[in-house]
Structure 1
C-alpha cells in the first residue's frame, strides 16, 4: 500500500529528517530521519514491507522484526494524523 501526502500537506527536508505542514490547520510535524525515510519510501510507491527493507539497508543493526514494527507504526501514525492517504 503506497501512500501520498494529502494535497494540503507540504513536506520540507531538514538536516535531521523532515517537517510536514498542514496548510489548512497550520499544524506541523517534525519527523526524525527514520520516519522521514519511511515516508519517502511510502510516497515513492513502496508499501510498509519495502519501507522496512529500506530501514534495514540504512540501519544494518536493526532487526527485520524491529524494522517492520517501526515501518508499520510510522505508517499508522501518519494516517492517524491525516497527513497521508492511499495513493
Structure 2
C-alpha cells in the first residue's frame, strides 16, 4: 500500500515478550501482533521503504516478499479499522 498510514489515536499499544498488543479503545478488542508485525508498526512512520529495509536486515526475507508482507499486514489493519491515513 503506498498511502501513508498510522495507527488511529484511539488504538493503544503495549510491547510484550512475544511482540505487541493493540487495543482498539472504541470497541475493546485486542490484537496480538507477532515480532514481524511489531517491526512494521515501529517503523511505519518512516515509510514503507524503511519498513522493508528493516525487515530484510532482521529476518531472512527478500525485499519483494517483505513488501508483500507489509502490504498484507497494512490491509489487515485497515480492514479492522485500526489505521488512519
**What TM-score does the superposition give when structure 2 sets the normalisation length?**
0.87
Instruction: Give the whole-Å Cα distance in 2 for the aligned partners of 1:27 and 1:62.
Output: 31
Instruction: Give the whole-Å Cα distance in 1 for the aligned partners of 2:73 and 2:47.
Output: 12
The SS at the match of 1:62 is coil
Instruction: Give the whole-Å Cα distance in 1 for the aligned partners of 2:16 and 2:61.
Output: 23
1:52–1:70 contact (8 Å) kept in structure 2: no
Say what the alpha-carbon RMSD is for the aligned residues: 1.3
* 1:21 matched to 2:23: yes
User: What are structure 1's unaligned runs of at least 5 residues?
Assistant: none
User: What are structure 2's unaligned runs of at least 5 residues?
Assistant: none
Within 5 Å, which residues of 2 pair with 1:19-58? Answer: 19-42=21-44, 45-58=45-58
* 1:75 matched to 2:74: yes
Q: How many equivalent residue pairs?
A: 83
